[in-house]
Amino acid sequence: MHKRSEDFTSEFTSKREELRRENEELRTLSQNTRFDRSDEKALIIAAMTTIFPVVVIGALLFYFVVAFIFRV
């Protein structure tokens, strides 16, 4: 029984260490990445085409629920 807790602790520690190393690697990659103006525009357009439809659908759903409840 004690052996299992040691295995769990070592596995948890190794996972934590792995996540820490990945986080450091991502941080260094993000610091070394430079974007062009066209890259920034593409990222903004991609974000808008992803987020805008979700917001519109959510707003319409909210409107229809409120209209149904209050019979507007």
43 is a domain residue = no
Q: How many domains does the chain have?
A: 1
67 is a domain residue = no
- pLDDT score recorded for residue 48: 93
11 is a domain residue = yes
Range of the domain at 10: 1-33
- pLDDT score recorded for residue 72: 62
> Residue 5 — pLDDT band, cuts 50, 70, 90?
low
CA of 61: how far to CAs of 17, 26, 42, 54, 58, in Å? 44, 38, 29, 10, 5
Give the pLDDT confidence of 8-61 residue by residue, as tens digits: 666 666 888 888 899 999 999 888 888 787 888 998 999 999 999 999 999 999
- pLDDT score recorded for residue 63: 95
44 is a domain residue = no
58 is a domain residue = no
